[in-house]
């Protein structure tokens, strides 16, 4: 009995070599698939909403796989989760529509980047694994103004890593918020899809605006130039977290039983 199963996953990416299975490296996909195959007793191809890089975290990664098993979802959740290490957790397992595809069905997703903006390291807050320490003084209002220029359907070539080649470099950013919580600055970006390192390069560019190197209205010219070297630096991966992925509700329910 083949079923399309949805998984909601969280992980601390610090000690993983990214999401994607790679021979000889510890990856989230590799760890999960090894556990799942022991439970369902056949090879599993786990499809994720997107591939996070080494050091990047996830609070709401979504994946799906087709399993030929009648094991109830709550039992699968326990059986798979009990075989995992402490830095990854399966939060939900449920059957969904056969057409659900974690990558292709995604409507939008949100990444959050955390910055510890203080002369002192973030050890006191125990967030050194999850927040980038940026000691320079930054102006949040300038960063908010600059962030507004990222919103919309635009060519983000200047924000993609050098060598990133896609059929189209146009992506749609729905929201780009900059907020301060004491010494911590959080940049939340929601979009329909992202280029390789796009969010980390957007954050690096906003920091250059925040510290006064560029004016907020420099962003449109940077994007129009389509030149990666003219944008800000790529910030480290450990400040980035995939918060959630949104899907059409009709694909998140199992098929109606046959009469």
Q: Give catalytic residues, as residue numbers.
A: 53
Contact criterion met (CB below 8 Å) for 248 and 96? no
d(CA 38, CA 195): 34
For residue 160, count other CB atoms closer than 10 A to its CB: 22
CB 212 within 8 A of CB 177: no
Confirm if 60 and 244 have CB atoms less than 8 A apart: yes
Retrieve residue 254's tokens: 């199992």
Calpha distance 3→235 (Å, rounded): 40
Give the whole-angstrom CA distance, residue 231 versus residue 202: 8
Residue 175 and residue 113: Cα distance in Å, rounded?
A: 14
């Amino acid at each position: 009995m083949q079923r399309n199963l949805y998984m909601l996953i969280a992980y601390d990416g610090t000690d993983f070599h990214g999401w994607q299975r790679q021979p000889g490296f510890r990856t989230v996909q590799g760890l999960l698939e090894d556990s799942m195959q022991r439970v369902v007793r056949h090879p599993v191809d786990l499809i994720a909403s997107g591939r996070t890089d080494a050091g990047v975290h996830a609070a709401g990664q979504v994946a799906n796989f087709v399993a030929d098993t009648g094991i109830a979802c709550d039992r699968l959740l326990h059986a798979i989760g009990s075989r995992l290490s402490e830095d990854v957790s399966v939060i939900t397992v449920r059957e969904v529509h056969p057409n659900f595809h974690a990558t292709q069905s995604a409507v939008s997703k949100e990444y959050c980047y955390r910055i510890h903006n203080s002369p002192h390291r973030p050890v006191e807050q125990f967030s050194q694994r999850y927040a980038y320490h940026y000691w320079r003084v930054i102006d949040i209002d300038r960063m908010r103004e600059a962030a507004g220029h990222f919103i919309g359907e635009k060519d983000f070539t200047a924000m993609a890593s050098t060598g990133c080649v896609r059929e189209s470099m146009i992506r749609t950013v729905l929201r780009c918020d900059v907020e301060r919580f004491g010494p911590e600055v959080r940049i939340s970006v929601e979009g329909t899809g992202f280029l390789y390192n796009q969010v980390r390069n957007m954050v690096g560019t906003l920091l250059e605006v925040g510290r006064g190197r560029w004016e907020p209205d420099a962003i449109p010219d940077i994007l129009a130039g389509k030149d990666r070297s003219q944008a800000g630096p790529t910030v480290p991966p450990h400040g980035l977290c995939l918060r959630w992925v949104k899907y059409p509700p009709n694909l998140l329910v199992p098929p109606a039983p046959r009469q």
